[in-house]
Amino acid sequence: MRLYTKRWGAAAAASLALLTAAATSTFAASSALAAPGSGTGGGAPAQSFHGVNWAAPGDNYASGPVVPSGLATSDSYAAVFSITKSVVAGFRKNLDANTLRLPVNPASVGDASAWWKSYRGAIDAATASGFRVILSYWDKQSPNDGKIDDVTAWNQMWATLTSTYAKNPLVYFEPMNEPYGYTDAQWIQICTTWLADYPAIPRGRVVISGAGYNDHVTTVGAASALDGTLLSLHFYGFWASSTTEADWLANLEPRLGTYQSRTIIDEAGAPMTTGLNYAVGDGNQYTSYFDATTDYARQHHMGLVYWPGLRTGDTYSMETLEPDGTLVDNNASGVAQLKWGYGLGTKSPESGS
């Protein structure tokens, strides 16, 4: 997630305006999550991803190791494994989630990183719990220009991650988060090269970010070189000031084109600690946005990964981490709407539905 006031320039805002105007037991768990053969090129179908982001307290854009909330660089592998097992159990119990999206960067991966020896415990614990894990590269806090900071280091990071987890069907790979520093054509070529460099990874376990701020998948979806991959979209309520679900749906749909069935909305979120009532959509910028997004994801059988499931100090955080390691919901109506977006339940949580 990039806060608009901090990270988005006028050109990006104009682009968005134009777009809107255009109007083991671990492996056994994988089989339980999706029917055999139902995925895209060796993975699970997009619609089966019911997930959350587990984010760092400051930001995932880090010059050093990226450390999700509740973990510390001083933690051992065993400590990270144990904490993650508890956090994942909380996501499953409270949200019925089955997917965890985790940030990675070169400072967090590989033999040269002390944190890697521990951080892989988060991936291992989540998959041991039957969760899917999406590993997504985030660029550094500075210059934070939407480009790969060091291509050599980036390649070394992915070589380590793919060789470590190629045989674990619950691990998915997202080459970059929000690649807005590249043109659509440049980004497609980067992803095409990534696929060629790591042929051992089934295409159905590769999540290709939408171009720009992950804000549209129409170009990556149309690229034949990326056939067989999953796609990811980001969509936020601070991108416009609409207060009706109809307006938000008109904003969202052009970003997807005809690629809903391949797409996971792997960042979407709204304030959850301010007392908003998501049982009532229209009339508020964020309730109308979130209800429209979850309704659309459900109707079109899309994957949905909330931003963030847990992030200390973030008003969007769906959960709070208690001192005893358990998670508690921050907004019951938001939780109900998220589950609806996952495709769960039979009665809409919106009032009067």
- Residue ranges and CATH numbers for the domains of the chain are 4-341 (3.20.20.80)
What is the pLDDT, as a whole number, of residue 144? 87
What is the pLDDT, as a whole number, of residue 27? 33
Tell me which residue of 201, 286, 192, 198 sits closest to 248, measured CA to CA: 286
The percentage of the chain sitting over the pLDDT mark of 70, rounded to a whole number, equals: 88
What is the pLDDT, as a whole number, of residue 279? 97
Other Cβ atoms within 10 Å of 26 Cβ, number: 17
- Statement: residue 230 has pLDDT above 80: yes
3-state secondary structure of 92: helix
Q: Report d(CA 329, CA 222) in Å as an integer.
A: 39
24-28, 77-81, 220-224, 264-268, range with the lowest pLDDT: 24-28
What is the pLDDT, as a whole number, of residue 235? 98
- Statement: residue 12 has pLDDT above 50: no
Q: What is the pTM of this model?
A: 0.90
User: 73 CB contacts (<8 Å, ≥6 apart)?
Assistant: 65, 67, 114, 115, 118
User: 10 CB contacts (<8 Å, ≥6 apart)?
Assistant: none
Average pLDDT, the chain: 90
Overall average pLDDT of the 133-141 stretch = 96
Label the pairing between strands 319-321 and 303-310: unpaired
Overall average pLDDT of the 248-255 stretch = 98
